[in-house]
Amino acid sequence: MNDTSYAGVLSRKNSIMKKSVGIDYGIYESGSIAFDYERMMKETGYTLDDVRAIQAAVHVGNTPILELRNLTTLARHYARPGYGARIFIKDEAANPSGSFKARRAAISVYHAKKHGYKGVISATSGNYGAAVASQAAMLGLKCIVVQECYDSRGTGQPEIIEKARKCEALGAEVVQLSVGPELFYKFLLLLEETGYFNASLYTPFSVAGIETLGFEIACQFRSQCGRLPDAVVATNAGGGNLTGTARGLLKAGAKIPVIGASVSLAGLHMASDTQFNKKSFTTGHTGFGIPFSSWPDRSDVPRSAARPLRYMDRYVTITQGSVFYITEALASLEGLEKGPAGNTSLAAAFALAQEMPDTAIIAVQETEYTGAGKHVQPQLSFAKSNGIEVHFGNPADEKPGENLILPEHPGLIKTTEVDLDHIRASLIKTAVKTHGNGRPPTEEDIAFLCDETRRDADFVRALLNENSN
């Protein structure tokens, strides 16, 4: 019998992960900071053509792009003359489980079936659990979804509870836990006890599944508009969404700016029991976006395939109240009801469009389904019940955990720029601390860090010197 104590299970983390994912990450390691990311993606993922065929067989992908003419008109009202880009969305809610995550789940579950696993397990409070459950149902595999759902009072987030219902409706067993280290412990224990496949968000299979999203954007805009969009905005949390989309764009020969967008939850600690229910967004926020951008390998696999700094041209934040406002505007002006995560990038795009000429096109690369607990009103009611003040005003005055400010008018919806060089510096510092082994970085390490940060060797060396002093 294995030791099932917290310490005992965590001590076996690497062996459990290796068995449940089927990847020997060690063969891609250099023994220092660097690892061969592109070789890992090529050898353990699937080709773009493979992914497209796998997804087509389970009704995933080929979702439409929709022009939001009324929201574009509204943006132009607040832009200076001659400005206000055309706003489009990629309607990923058209996928079987209602979000873009069906793309990554399709490949993960296919891989599990191909290699003889009897079931799949996913640790997620979000749409990915429903996506994995949907794909597992199609391929006849068992599915367990482990959720971080409650605080210590037993109070659960409406949005997370809503997603649990969807997972169960699709045949999954849902294990709901309270916030804290219990989640990872229980996840590892279930992987070990069941022998199921780890349908992680951060494997090469998962990220390869999203590459079709970027590839489709390029093809559809060329076909429908006769040109590529001038920018693509992606909601950024764990980084896989942005990474996969950007890689797909590049595979389609579309070298266009990719802008990450997250809801600002500055000041809230994601693992805090007392602050868990102070936030009105369960994903797409800075509590994931900032730490996973600055250190991707904090994920549940040794080396994450989601590496957003390699592909991000800009990174902006938007307030909770602004996203709720745009969610309502989308429904009332365009007749489209979508969930909050995708509307994070839409709210950012609404503000960014006003910086661009009216001849330009800005594309929001995903949407998601909405349901009872994901609607604006349940979330606002939940915020009030947790002591959050909700009112109309200037979103710039919003303080996460204290208030939630709906814009008095849409002209107040603005993005805040994130300093990417600050995140790059953090990544380099963490890389040296985690994998440097106390030795000076090699030339291979420096080349790797250049790729990780999209900066030249002088930038990397300067930061390495700064950290060594």
Question: What pLDDT score does 295 carry?
Answer: 97
Residues 231, 337, single domain; the answer is yes
409 within a domain of the structure (yes/no): yes
348 within a domain of the structure (yes/no): yes
CATH number, residue 377: 3.40.50.1100
- CB neighbour list of residue 12: distance below 8 Å, 6 or more residues apart: 2, 188, 192
Residues 345, 216, single domain; the answer is yes
Question: What pLDDT score does 93 carry?
Answer: 96
Residues 403, 442, single domain; the answer is no
Question: What pLDDT score does 468 carry?
Answer: 76
Token pair for residue 424? 């790059």
Q: Which residues of 39-53 are buried (b: 16+ CB within 10 A; e: fewer)?
A: ebbeebbbebeebbe
70 within a domain of the structure (yes/no): yes
Residues 269, 329, single domain; the answer is yes
Residues 219, 342, single domain; the answer is yes
104 within a domain of the structure (yes/no): no
CA-CA distances (angstroms) from residue 467 to 30, 212, 407, 428, 441?
Answer: 22, 39, 42, 9, 12
Cα 101 from Cα 283, distance rounded (Å):
13
Domain count, the chain: 2
132 within a domain of the structure (yes/no): no
Residues 232, 367, single domain; the answer is yes
Taking the chain (469 residues) in runs of 10, the rounded mean pLDDT of each run is: 89 91 93 95 90 98 98 98 98 96 97 97 91 98 95 91 94 93 92 96 95 98 98 97 98 98 92 89 92 94 96 98 97 95 94 98 96 91 96 98 97 98 97 89 96 97 87
pTM for this model (two decimals): 0.96
138 within a domain of the structure (yes/no): no
Cα 131 from Cα 58, distance rounded (Å):
12
Residues 353, 459, single domain; the answer is no
Question: What pLDDT score does 175 carry?
Answer: 96
231 within a domain of the structure (yes/no): yes
Contact (CB, 8 A) for 315 and 345 = no
Residues 322, 450, single domain; the answer is no
User: Which domain does 323 fall in, by range?
Assistant: 55-97+207-417
72 within a domain of the structure (yes/no): yes
Residues 212, 343, single domain; the answer is yes
Residues 327, 455, single domain; the answer is no
CA-CA distances (angstroms) from residue 432 to 120, 345, 438, 449?
Answer: 34, 33, 8, 10
Residues 313, 434, single domain; the answer is no
Residues 381, 435, single domain; the answer is no
